[in-house]
Structure 1
Amino acid sequence: MVNCSICGRPAVYINRISGQAFCKKHFLEYFDKKVRRTIRRYKMFSSKEHIVVAVSGGKDSLSLLHYLYNLSKRVPGWRITALLIDEGIRGYRDITKKDFLRVVNELGVDYKIASFEEYFGYTLDEIVRIGREKGLPYLPCSYCGVFRRYLLNKVARELGGTVLATAHNLDDVVQTYVMNIINNSWDKILRLAPVTGPLDHPKFVRRVKPFYEILEKETTLYSILNNLYPKFVECPYARFNIRWMIRRQLNELEEKYPGTKYSLLRSLLRIIDILSKHRDEIIHGEIKTCKVCGEPSAHEICRACLYRYELGIMRDDEKRIVEEVLGKKKI
């Protein structure tokens, strides 16, 4: 048995890079110091914030909600609201929603559940079915990612949030970094900064990633030690996503060469610094306002409205706007 490097009690975690081992008490102190250092380093919050925490009901987002709620007790000017986006994935989201409700009720946190069906008229399961029937080339994760990001920003703003906190950990960030390199999506790499915004658009809510430098295994242990770890339920659409293959390969590299993920993160931060100097060229000018829904967009029609148009799930007056714009220029 390995003992804690600080007090000699049985260890629950070993940092393979530093060689330090931590018992439960000292792991939670290590975790707290690491997250607070990340928040300070990237200047994520001011002394007065309404923090909307994006919570899926999974271990990482429940850990983030728990952590920020407890941290907010030390900052009188902070208000916390939990936001769950219910995509409408049968056998998945209905289960994770129960874990979400359990934790927000235990903490006594204000919350909001916003569904695809409420805002778009259809669940993700229905959207995927319609897309397949129409022969559209998009994977389920494409619809989910676009519509989720759209609602997170829109609903966080409607709630009066000054900042949107997401539970992306170091593993999530470097996986997405590798995916975007493979897809040659340099504009999307800019979104992987620890703080996104404020962009030059009044409807964009600044986003932060407090777990940016925290390994997934560390957030997992935090959730277990705080009785947050939910029953594991895998999204049925996950098998269509290249992320899972990249995740496995990066974990194998980290196991053989400890520190690989941190090296990739340093590489990402260097790339972001370089790309940010050419931001206007990369994202083709300033952030626009979608002519259909009025939300922030890189184009005259946002991706969410374009998907709704192609799926045939928008009103006739909205279709006319899209067709008018498409007749003038290609998105």
Structure 2
Amino acid sequence: MYVNRVNKTAYCRQHFIEYFERKVKKTIRKYRMLGKTEHIVVAVSGGKDSMALLYFLWKMSKKNPGWRVSALIVDEGIRGYREYTIANFLRVNERLGVPYKIASFKEYFGMTLDEIVEEGRRRGLPYLPCAYCGVFRRYLLNKVAREMGGTVLATAHNMDDVVQTFIMNLAKDTLDKLARLAPVTGIASHEKFVRRIKPFIEVTEKETSIYALLNGLIEPEYHKCPYAEFNVRFKIRKMINELEEAQPGTKNSLLNSYLSIVRLLGEKRQVGEVKTCKICGEPSSHDVCRACQFRIGLGILEKGVYELKRGL
């Protein structure tokens, strides 16, 4: 039995699933995330959140004949972690039968994340593993989803994820990045940018975990990313969870505060001009996208490539 401490309601298995799915459907309608005809590419890691999202959208597609669902798995190449989550996806997908593609860092960048981290340290670069991972993952998700013919890219960011990132941006004074957290992003920003949606933005991490468990979507054994300890997010997460425990509804209030700020600032003002990377041709906020900047720094691309592309 699950007890929601905010609305003070207890749910059995059946009623929790109904509550969860009803809430996510309402979010999709509220933010007009999906039209009648969509090819929904779901960003899947094989973990609890993304598997819950894939299962939910697969289930909803049975009632919406205009929806086609595919899965996109990014294999960063993290030994002792990613092979287990991919195996979990494959196990569940034997039941769902969703078309999928696995895009690896090794295939697209010539190096696994483990190799990238090692090379970055050898060259004395100041970036943490999560910086490389985040940039390259976002790059591949957009590029490959577009290559798959996706009309929309669905990510499993839940309320906890968005609130944590919101606080991190406040702490770092990087409010210009807030637009990435919006329920829907990428509308008319660039012809190569696949519109992104976050159907789980109004449900908590605990709720998505329970939904995944009740539907047999994750293995009992938990595998933690070995690079997680380097990410300040986990300190923020602990702090917010303690606040939620002492004051139920804190996460929801923080989410509402974030959404209010987005409305006040306006998405266009936050996003700024979206350019085209002069090296790879992908959407970028700079002349050279962050992924190509990293590739140059790591020696994957020669520095002269940029000058060559500019015709200098």
Q: Shorter-chain TM-score category?
A: over 0.9
SS of alignment partner, residue 21 of structure 1 = strand
The answer as to whether partners of 2:279 and 2:309 remain within 8 angstroms in 1 is no
The answer as to whether partners of 2:74 and 2:137 remain within 8 angstroms in 1 is yes
Aligned to 2:280: 293
Q: Could you tell me which runs of 5 or more consecutive residues in structure 2 were left unpaired when the two chains were aligned.
A: none
C-alpha separation in 2, matches of 1:135 and 1:320: 21
Quick one: which amino acid aligns to residue 298 of structure 1?
S
Quick one: which amino acid aligns to residue 107 of structure 1?
L
Quick one: which amino acid aligns to residue 123 of structure 2?
K
C-alpha separation in 2, matches of 1:15 and 1:108: 33
Moved segments of 4+, more than 3 Å: 323-326
State which of 261, 264, 283 in structure 1 corresponds to 2:254. 264
Matches within 5 A, 1:5-20: 12-20=1-9
For residues 9-53 of structure 1, the C-alpha deviation after alignment (integer angstroms, 9 at most, x for no partner) is xxx111101111111111111011100000000000000000000
Q: Could you tell me which runs of 5 or more consecutive residues in structure 1 were left unpaired when the two chains were aligned.
A: 1-11
1:307 aligns with 2:294: yes
C-alpha separation in 1, matches of 2:37 and 2:151: 9
Please provide the CA RMSD for this pair.
1.5
1:187 Cα offset (Å): 1.4
Aligned to 1:116: 105
C-alpha separation in 2, matches of 1:85 and 1:75: 27
Give the 3 Å change call, closer, same or farther, for CA 13–235 of structure 1 in structure 2.
same
The answer as to whether partners of 1:300 and 1:325 remain within 8 angstroms in 2 is no
1:325 Cα offset (Å): 8.1
C-alpha separation in 2, matches of 1:324 and 1:66: 46
For residues 264-283 of structure 1, the C-alpha deviation after alignment (integer angstroms, 9 at most, x for no partner) is 00000011112226x34x44
SS of alignment partner, residue 41 of structure 2 = strand
C-alpha separation in 2, matches of 1:138 and 1:153: 22
C-alpha separation in 1, matches of 2:222 and 2:156: 17
For residues 245-264 of structure 1, the C-alpha deviation after alignment (integer angstroms, 9 at most, x for no partner) is 01011000000000000000
Quick one: which amino acid aligns to residue 299 of structure 1?
H
Aligned to 2:136: 147
For residues 179-224 of structure 1, the C-alpha deviation after alignment (integer angstroms, 9 at most, x for no partner) is 1111111111111100002133110000000001001110011011
For normalisation by structure 1, the TM-score amounts to 0.91
Matches within 5 A, 1:1-331: 12-230=1-219, 231-276=221-266, 279-280=268-269, 282-283=270-271, 285-314=272-301, 316=302, 319-323=303-307
Q: Identity across aligned pairs (percent)?
A: 61
SS of alignment partner, residue 53 of structure 1 = strand
C-alpha separation in 1, matches of 2:188 and 2:116: 30
Larger RCO, structure (CA 8 Å, separation 6 or more): 2
1:302 Cα offset (Å): 0.2
C-alpha separation in 2, matches of 1:128 and 1:229: 28
The answer as to whether partners of 2:3 and 2:9 remain within 8 angstroms in 1 is yes
Which is higher, the Rg of structure 1 or of structure 2? Answer: 1
Size of the aligned set, in residue pairs, is: 311
For residues 85-131 of structure 1, the C-alpha deviation after alignment (integer angstroms, 9 at most, x for no partner) is 00000000011110011112210110000000000000000000000
SS of alignment partner, residue 76 of structure 1 = coil
C-alpha separation in 2, matches of 1:132 and 1:168: 30
